[in-house]
């Protein structure tokens, strides 16, 4: 209406005629092809062939530790991350954070300029002021210079910090890690008298007992743990064995979801169970007074561990105090558990903590503070008073990728380069070092932390490339350094850099009292999608349905059904949680797997200065962290006492839980057997099938097919993000996804099987089934949904007119419709920026508004493999086509190949007795099929009453 | 009562009836002709380039091989245009002062790339790959025409989907032996159909697959 009014008043007849003329002219011009330029290089870079992707090994950081990756670069643009098989923290697979790293690189909200007091400044101005400040400090012995970083394993950063310490004897380095597991470190000190790191070897274990630990959850060793466990859970006709996983946990985790036996208990009772297990193995510990269910489970665990000496592992999580960790170390010693122990990476002097820094700031002893790559203003416990203490310093610098909450309370902010833009090095969770090499020159005037430490050190400005090379010059040995360097870069891992394992004998700590019962208590977890909050502005991760709750774009507090009844709380009701006078108000989610008396929520939300994507989403659970306590480390994971009250409000966090429910009996859709039941299964018969109502297109060869092993899928979601990155799938935003309009081509359905079928949750990744008798095809009025000669059910975007008949007729609910131009003109928040286009895969169409789309079996990868093979006149070998989901999978649950090839891995899997088709009774002859979940609860009596 | 219609009315009515039947056909025919006209397909239209590069001189006259400049044609989806450096291999020695080559020298000196206008353009949703065509016996001039006779480059094929499909459905008439791929003088021999059939099996070309949507669109 408004527009019409302005046109009526403002446009004269003459102008209207002009506009009309222009319109006709433009319309005519629009008929001809727009011109396009070809801009060749002036000098061709070495080894680059336009149109051919290049792959480089590099390392991505998570909590300071590295995960080796292979990054695909197209014409200088990094577009896809995959795993590096040689790297121990990747083993060829990825996690959600590695997959989503590309989006963070191109994030338009990244900090782009140096800022001083909120105004744009320059690196030179900063360097000049820094020299002046250090100059002042130097004359007074530099007792006021402090460095605060996140956790660091980088050998070069540690070397640089060591060098600073030599230069300024009173300089202190502090570390702030919001996800620190301080109790584990203190527990190692109690058991071994030094803070050893321990790495469980799941590959070599039969019985795994986790006391609130989450080795399969998000974290630096998730991929390695998952791969290790999968090696022991790959149930086949030829190897019908499976490891057994016991989990005792306070709130549902991925590890608990994959457990054969699971018991939900509050943290203090979990401690009691560890003490009980220690007593059973002969330790001198107080009687934990176990309840019946606890005692039954403990008995089963003890009975299982005893005959598996050398093949059982006990793990303890961060909610437990140091003494309990120490007892677990002792237990592992008793049962000769396959756990590797080694010295943590460091540079001789352990760093100070954040509370040390706050104390010094308040005492006026820290005049200048340089903060690199951490966000204590958001993450530190409020009781610590970090922000007000920091304001007492005279010179504050923040170096980070975003002008975040901490940058807001610093004088200077220096934009930090992304890991894909700079040189560095990192150590993996097991201590193996690898190099970080840039895939692209910095997009903005950013700097790496190495460059900043170099000017702090006042040894002249140096590039990060030179600084990193200097660290490794001594390592080449008798070899030529250049050859050594090229080998290390090529492999993405530095051979022989893992620290030596140590084998100390653990002691039992002397404890007289058990942790007191404190209920209700609050348990915190890292968020499965945005981790500690550092990924809050990554839209791929925000829109990723969380593995167990399927929530997106926010967090909730989980409480048990019993607690909900007791308090009269309904789903979505906003609860006020109070700990030590600090409170947050967060919507409730009722979870039957939650321990009674325990409330849990995830960290990382409630960001105020994350960027356009992450701001204002969810609630900041860090606000409830209590100040550091002895024997618990800096970061508290379980808080008590907790006060819960109702606010009367209701708020819902979007969830995709019931958006794509399949029409079938859950027991049929997700099949689950115990190991003895598996042994009794007969191989799938070759009986002729009924006629199909739909036309059948068998197709020629190769007959592409996929088999997904649901025993192996741990629900980590890496495949979902991998698919989104590979296939240019857009983000739709919280409002649209709440309407069921999410665009993920691959979803992971989860099934709670109920008590009768054990405690394990079923995870079922569901891509397009590529049915041979495809229900989507006959209903398409324009033949946009058709079969190709290799049996792929393809969607022709240019034919599609958007009737959505195919979506309605798809029994598997795998078709996704572009209700808006999610990828093409109507992007969510800042996602439509010019720089964001760089992440697109050039081999896949960016779909426009009004068309249907779905999983293509990565047809672009099939095509590339076919062309490569045909160019040299050979067939496509088994394993040559690897779909994006398959490549990402830490447990190798997804297999893909040619079903017409009897030797192919998929053909063999189709002959397994537990092979089945999803909704097989519909007779759609799907090309994607499943292996049923095989549980191994053993002969034990029921762990639960 | 006077006649309502004049004597010519019948003829007019007949004409109108015929026109009703014919007009849609004419409309379709005109539309079809327009869509396939060079004005729309761009066929045979010469575009002004920053440097008036002559394939007639370089290929026809000097006998340069296609791959000297289009280096990616055997390995990549795109054949590629030469880097300025490639031009300067010769032009730092000969015609060093030619006015025509001033943009090339400027590009090399200042490191600013030359900006060529694209001639053979396919829509973004077509994933064409040069290397597989070259490997399977499709020669350069089959699609790009007799470039050795073009002083200025022009698009010599209509590049419509129908034109692509003509060959994808029946490649035999267009296939050449390996040694003739980059030849500008190759013409189909009299027994091309038989030779094409032999090449189909020798090169392992699966014709059934070639007209799948997923071959070019994804």
In order, the DSSP letters of A448-499 are: -HHHHHHHHTTS----HHHHHHHHHGGGGTTS-HHHHHHHHHHHTS-TT-SP
Beta-carbon separation of A38 and B81 below 8 A: yes
Helices (H) and strands (E) in chain B, counts: 12, 1
Alpha-carbon distance of A91 to B6, in angstroms, equals 93
Closest in B76, B85, B121 to A42, CB measured = B85
Yes or no, beta carbons of B203 and A873 under 8 Å apart: yes
Alpha-carbon distance of A188 to A467, in angstroms, equals 34
The token duo for A419 is 């890991």
Instruction: Considering only the beta carbons, identify the residue of A789, A845, A856 that sits closest to B212.
Output: A789
Q: Which residues contact A532 (CB under 8 A, 6 or more apart)?
A: A63, A178, A179, A379, A526, A603, A604
How far is residue A90's CA from residue A68's CA, in Å, rounded to a whole number? 6
* pLDDT of res. A119: 94
Task: Look at A37 and B40 and tell me if their CB atoms are within 8 Å.
Answer: no
Q: What is the pLDDT of residue A385?
A: 92
Question: Is B23 a residue whose pLDDT tops 90?
Answer: yes
- Mutate which of B51, B155, B214 to test chain A, going by most A C-beta atoms within 10 A? B214
Find chain B residues with C-beta within 8 A of A39's C-beta: 113-116
Q: Is A193 exposed, middle or buried (0-12, 13-18, 19+ CB in 10 A)?
A: exposed
Give the minimum alpha-carbon distance from B152 to chain A in angstroms, rounded to a whole number. Answer: 16
CB within 8 Å: A860 and B127? yes
> Based on the number of CB atoms within 10 Å of its own CB, is A393 exposed (0-12), middle (13-18) or buried (19 or more)?
buried
Pull the structure tokens for residue A742. 């999410």
CA of B117 to nearest chain A CA: how many angstroms apart? Answer: 5
pLDDT of amino acid A290: 93
Residue ranges per structural domain of chain A: 2-31, 114-178+347-423+441-473, 182-342, 521-650, 666-682+693-935
**Element at B12 (helix H, strand E):** helix B9-36
Chain B residues touching residue A44 (CB < 8 angstroms): 83, 85-86
pTM: 0.92
Residues of B in contact with A843 (CB under 8 A): 127, 218
Q: Are A55 and A683 in contact (CB under 8 A)?
A: no
Nearest to A33 among B42, B113, B132 (CB): B42
Q: Which of A642, A526, A653 is nearest to A584 (CA)?
A: A642
Of A43, A51, A845, the CB nearest to B85: A43
User: Which residue has tokens 């894909």?
Assistant: A420
Q: Do B76 and A790 touch (CB under 8 A)?
A: no
B118 and A786 within 8 Å at the Cβ level: the answer is no
Whether B209 sits inside 8 A of A790 (CB atoms) is yes
Say whether A38 and B118 touch across the interface (CB within 8 A): yes
Q: In angstroms, rounded to a whole number, what is the distance separating the alpha carbons of residues A112 and A835? A: 13
DSSP-derived secondary structure letter, A571: T
Q: Which of residues 37-66 of B touch A (CB under 8 A)?
A: 39-40, 42, 47
CA distance A844 to chain B (A): 6
Out of A31, A40, A788, name the one closest to residue B82 (CB). A40
CA distance B213 to B75: 23
Contact check, Cβ <8 Å, A42/B107: yes
Contacts of A892 (CB under 8 A, 6+ apart): A93, A227, A230, A712, A886
Give the helix, strand, coil percentages of chain A, each rounded to 5.
Answer: 30, 20, 50
Select A182-342's CATH number: 3.40.228.10, 1.10.10.350, 3.90.226.10, 3.90.550.10: 3.40.228.10
Which chain B residues are Cβ-neighbours of A798 within 8 angstroms? 125, 217
Which residues of A touch chain B, with CB atoms under 8 Å apart? 31-33, 35-44, 49-52, 700, 786, 788-790, 792, 794, 796-798, 843-845, 856, 859-860, 863, 867, 870-871, 873
Minimal Cβ distance to A859: which of B39, B135, B214 = B214
Centre a 10 Å sphere on the Cβ of residue B137 and count the other Cβ atoms it contains. 22
Task: Identify the residue among A789, A843, A861, A865 best suited for mutation to test binding to B, counting B beta carbons within 10 A and taking the highest.
Answer: A789
- B88, B206, B213, B216: which to substitute to probe chain A, counting the most A Cβ within 10 Å? B213
A-chain residues near B75 (CB < 8 A): 49, 52
Both tokens of A628, joined, read: 């550091």
DSSP character string of A32-53: SPPP-EE---SSPPTT--TT--
Q: Which helix (H) or strand (E) holds A427?
A: strand A424-427
Task: Count other Cβ atoms within 10 Å, centred on residue A6.
Answer: 9
A441: its two tokens: 């020159």
CATH top-level class of A521-650: mainly beta
Contacting residues for A835 by C-beta, under 8 A, at least 6 apart: A106, A108, A443
Task: Measure in Å the smallest separation between the Cα of A797 and chain B Cα atoms.
Answer: 8
Strand pairing of A244-249 and A261-264? Answer: parallel
- Name which of B42, B72, B112 is nearest A49 (Cβ-Cβ): B72
Within its chain, how far is the Cα of A679 from the centroid?
35
Task: Say whether the peptide bond before residue A641 is cis (omega within 30 degrees of 0).
Answer: yes
Inter-chain touch B40–A796, beta carbons under 8 Å: no
Please give the interface size between A and B, counted as residue pairs whose CB atoms are below 8 Å apart. Answer: 125
Q: What is the mean pLDDT of each run of 10 residues along chain A (945 residues)?
A: 44 80 68 79 88 95 96 94 96 96 95 94 93 69 81 95 87 93 92 93 96 96 96 93 94 95 93 94 91 93 91 95 94 94 86 93 90 95 92 93 95 96 96 96 94 87 92 88 95 92 89 81 95 95 95 95 95 94 94 93 95 94 85 80 93 90 88 92 70 78 94 96 97 94 95 74 96 94 94 94 96 96 90 91 95 96 95 92 97 96 94 93 92 86 42
DSSP classification of residue B173: G
| CB within 8 Å: B131 and A32 | no
What φ, ψ does residue A520 adopt, rounded to 5°? -75, 150
DSSP annotation string for A739-775: TT----SSEEEEEE--GGG-SPEEEEEE-----SS-T
Please state which architecture CATH assigns to domain A666-682+693-935. 2-Layer Sandwich (3.30)
Instruction: Judge: B114–A844 Cβ closer than 8 Å, yes or no.
Output: no
d(CA A356, CA A358): 6
Task: Please judge whether B135 and A50 are an interchain contact, meaning their C-beta atoms are less than 8 angstroms apart.
Answer: no
Task: Show the CA angle centred on residue A876, arms to residues A875 and A877, nearest 5°.
Answer: 110
Interface subset of B 83-142, CB within 8 angstroms of A: 83-86, 107-108, 111-118, 121, 124-125, 127, 129, 131-132, 135-136
Find all residues with CB under 8 Å of A493, minimum gap 6, and list them.
Answer: A57, A68, A84, A86, A87, A88, A432, A433, A434
CB contact under 8 A, A863 and B84: no
- Write b or e for each residue in A314-324: b if 16 or more Cβ atoms lie within 10 A of its Cβ, otherwise e: bbbbbbbbbbb
pLDDT tens per residue, range B24-70? 999 999 998 988 888 888 888 888 899 999 999 999 999 999 999 99
Nearest residue of chain A to residue B134 (CA atoms): A871
Query: DSSP string of A805-866?
Result: HHHHH-TT---EE-SS-TTTT--SGGGGSGGGGGGS-TTS--PPTT-EE---SSHHHHHHHH
Q: Is A44 in Cβ contact with B115 (below 8 Å)?
A: no
Q: Searching chain A, which residue's CA lies closest to the CA of residue B104?
A: A42
CA atoms within 13 A on the CB side of B128: 19
Which pair of structure tokens corresponds to residue A48? 């680059």
Q: Enumerate the β-bridge partners of residue A77.
A: A74
Closest CA to A529 of A101, A64, A63, A96: A96
Q: Hey, how many other C-beta atoms are within 10 angstroms of the C-beta on A263?
A: 22
The Cα–Cα gap between A404 and A377 comes to 9
A786 chain-B contacts, CB cut-off 8 A: 213
Please, are residues A276 and A294 in contact by the beta-carbon 8 Å criterion?
A: yes
Helix (H) or strand (E) holding A582: strand A582-590
| Of the partner residues A39, A856, A871, the one whose CB lies closest to the CB of residue B131 | A871
Distance from C-alpha of B58 to C-alpha of B74, rounded to nearest angstrom: 20
Check whether domain A114-178+347-423+441-473 has CATH 3.40.50.740, yes or no: yes
Distances in whole angstroms, Cα of residue A24 to Cα of each of A18, A21, A64, A235: 10, 5, 60, 68
Q: B121 and A860 in contact by Cβ < 8 A? A: no
- Residue A560, Cβ neighbours under 10 Å: how many? 22
Closest-CA distance, B10 to chain A, in angstroms, reads 40
- The whole-angstrom separation of Cα A660 and Cα A702 is 31
Q: Identify which of A822, A825, A823, A851 has the alpha carbon closest to the alpha carbon of residue A839.
A: A823
Q: What pLDDT, on a 0 to 100 scale, did the predictor assign at position A1?
A: 38
Instruction: Write the residue in A49, A786, A792 that is nearest to B76 by C-beta.
Output: A49
Cα(A446)–Cα(A123) distance, integer angstroms = 9
């Amino acid at each position: 209406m408004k527009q019409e009014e302005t046109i009526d008043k403002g446009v004269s007849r003459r102008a209207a005629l002009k506009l009309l003329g222009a319109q006709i002219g433009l319309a005519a011009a629009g008929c001809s092809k727009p011109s396009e330029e070809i801009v060749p290089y002036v000098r061709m870079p070495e080894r680059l062939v336009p149109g051919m992707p290049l792959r480089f090994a590099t390392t991505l950081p998570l909590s300071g530790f590295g995960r080796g990756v292979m990054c695909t670069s197209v014409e200088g643009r990094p577009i896809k991350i995959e795993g590096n098989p040689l790297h121990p923290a990747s083993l060829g697979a990825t996690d959600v954070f590695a997959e989503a790293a590309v989006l963070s690189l191109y994030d338009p909200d990244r900090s782009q300029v140096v800022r001083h007091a909120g105004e744009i400044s320059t690196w030179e101005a900063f360097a000049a002021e820094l020299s002046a400040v250090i100059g002042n400090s130097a004359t007074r012995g530099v007792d006021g210079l402090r460095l605060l970083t996140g956790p660091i394993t980088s050998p070069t950063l540690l070397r640089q910090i060591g060098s600073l310490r030599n230069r300024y004897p009173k300089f202190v380095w502090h570390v702030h890690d919001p996800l620190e597991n301080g109790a584990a470190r203190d527990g190692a000190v109690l058991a071994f008298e030094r803070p050893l790191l321990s790495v469980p070897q799941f590959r070599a274990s039969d019985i795994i007992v986790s006391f609130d630990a989450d080795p399969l959850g998000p974290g630096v060793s998730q991929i390695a743990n998952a791969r290790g466990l999968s090696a022991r859970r790959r149930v086949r006709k030829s190897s019908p064995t499976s490891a057994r996983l016991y989990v005792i946990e306070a709130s549902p985790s991925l590890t608990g979801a994959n457990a054969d036996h699971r018991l939900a208990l509050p943290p203090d009772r979990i401690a009691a169970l560890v003490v009980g297990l220690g007593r059973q193995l002969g330790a001198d510990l107080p009687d934990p007074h176990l309840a019946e269910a606890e005692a039954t489970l403990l008995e089963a665990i003890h009975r299982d561990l005893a005959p598996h000496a050398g093949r059982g592992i006990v793990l303890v999580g961060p909610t437990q105090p140091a003494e309990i960790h120490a007892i677990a170390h002792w237990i592992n010693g008793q049962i000769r558990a396959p756990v590797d122990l080694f010295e943590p990476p460091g540079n001789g002097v352990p760093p100070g903590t954040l509370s040390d820094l706050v104390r010094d700031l308040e005492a006026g002893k820290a005049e200048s503070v340089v903060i690199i790559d951490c966000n204590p203003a958001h993450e530190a416990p409020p009781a610590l008073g970090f922000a007000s203490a920091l304001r007492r310093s005279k010179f504050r610098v923040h170096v980070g990728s975003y002008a975040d909450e901490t940058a807001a309370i610093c004088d200077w902010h220096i934009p930090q380069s992304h890991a894909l833009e700079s040189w560095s090095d990192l150590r993996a969770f097991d201590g193996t070092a690898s190099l970080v090499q840039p895939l692209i020159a910095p997009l903005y005037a950013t700097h790496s932390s190495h460059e900043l430490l170099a000017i702090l050190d006042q040894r002249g400005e140096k590039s990060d490339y030179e600084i990193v090379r200097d660290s490794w010059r001594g390592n080449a040995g008798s070899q030529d350094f250049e050859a050594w360097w090229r080998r290390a870069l090529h492999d993405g891992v530095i051979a022989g850099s893992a620290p030596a394992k140590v084998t100390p004998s653990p002691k039992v700590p002397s404890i007289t009292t058990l942790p007191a019962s404190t209920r209700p208590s609050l348990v915190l977890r890292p968020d499965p999608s945005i981790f500690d909050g550092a990924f809050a502005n990554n839209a791929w991760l925000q829109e990723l349905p969380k593995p167990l709750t399927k929530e997106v774009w926010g967090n909730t507090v989980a409480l048990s059904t019993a607690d909900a009844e007791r308090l009269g709380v309904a789903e979505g009701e906003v609860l006020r949680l109070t700990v030590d006078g600090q409170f947050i108000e967060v919507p409730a989610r009722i979870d039957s797997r939650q321990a009674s008396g325990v409330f849990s929520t995830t960290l990382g939300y409630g960001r105020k200065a994350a960027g356009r994507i992450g701001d204002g989403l969810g609630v900041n659970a860090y606000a409830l962290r209590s100040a550091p306590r002895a024997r618990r480390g800096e970061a508290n994971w379980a808080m008590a006492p907790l006060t819960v009250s109702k606010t009367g409000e209701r708020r819902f966090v979007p969830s995709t839980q019931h958006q794509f429910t399949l029409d079938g009996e859950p027991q049929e859709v997700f099949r689950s057997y115990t190991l003895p039941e598996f042994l009794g299964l007969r191989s799938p018969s070759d009986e002729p099938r009924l006629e199909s109502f739909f036309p059948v297109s068998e197709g020629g060869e190769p007959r592409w097919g996929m088999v997904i092993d649901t025993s192996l899928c741990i629900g980590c979601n890496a495949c979902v993000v991998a698919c989104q990155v590979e296939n240019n799938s857009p983000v739709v935003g919280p409002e649209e996804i709440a309407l069921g309009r999410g665009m993920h081509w691959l979803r992971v359905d989860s099934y709670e099987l109920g008590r009768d079928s054990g405690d394990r949750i079923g995870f079922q990744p569901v891509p397009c089934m590529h049915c041979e008798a495809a229900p989507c095809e006959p209903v398409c009025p324009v033949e946009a949904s058709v079969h190709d000669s290799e049996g792929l059910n393809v969607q022709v975007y240019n034919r599609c007119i958007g009737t959505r008949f195919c979506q309605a007729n798809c029994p598997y609910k795998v078709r996704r419709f572009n209700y808006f131009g999610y990828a093409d003109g109507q992007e969510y928040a800042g996602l439509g920026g010019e720089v964001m286009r760089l992440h697109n895969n050039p081999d896949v169409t960016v779909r426009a508004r009004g068309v249907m789309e779905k999983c293509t079996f990565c047809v672009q990868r099939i095509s590339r493999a076919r062309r490569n093979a045909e160019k040299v006149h050979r067939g496509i070998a088994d394993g040559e086509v690897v779909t994006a989901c398959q490549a990402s999978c830490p447990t190798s649950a997804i297999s893909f190949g040619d079903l017409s090839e009897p030797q192919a891995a998929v053909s063999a899997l189709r002959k397994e007795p537990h092979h089945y088709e999803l909704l097989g009774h519909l007779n759609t002859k799907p090309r994607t099929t499943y292996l049923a979940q095989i549980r191994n609860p053993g002969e034990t009596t029921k762990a639960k009453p | 009562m006077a006649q309502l219609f004049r004597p010519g009315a019948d003829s007019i009515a007949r004409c109108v009836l015929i026109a009703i039947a014919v007009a849609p056909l004419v409309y379709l025919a005109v539309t079809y002709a327009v869509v396939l006209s060079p004005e729309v397909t761009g066929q045979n239209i010469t575009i002004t380039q920053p440097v008036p590069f002559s394939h007639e001189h370089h290929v026809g006259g000097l006998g340069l091989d296609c791959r000297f400049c289009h280096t990616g044609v055997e390995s990549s989806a795109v054949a590629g245009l030469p880097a300025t450096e490639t031009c300067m291999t010769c032009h730092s020695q000969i015609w060093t002062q030619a006015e025509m080559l001033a943009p090339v020298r400027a590009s090399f000196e200042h490191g600013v790339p030359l900006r060529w206008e694209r001639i053979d353009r396919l829509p973004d949703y077509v994933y064409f790959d040069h290397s597989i065509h070259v490997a399977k016996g499709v020669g350069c001039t089959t699609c790009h025409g007799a470039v050795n006779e073009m002083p200025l480059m022009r698009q010599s094929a209509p590049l419509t989907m129908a034109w692509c499909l003509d060959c994808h459905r029946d490649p035999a008439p267009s296939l050449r032996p390996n040694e003739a791929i980059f030849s500008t003088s190759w013409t189909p021999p009299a027994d091309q159909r038989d030779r094409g059939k032999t090449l189909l099996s020798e090169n392992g070309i699966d014709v059934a697959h070639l007209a799948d949507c997923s071959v070019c669109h994804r």
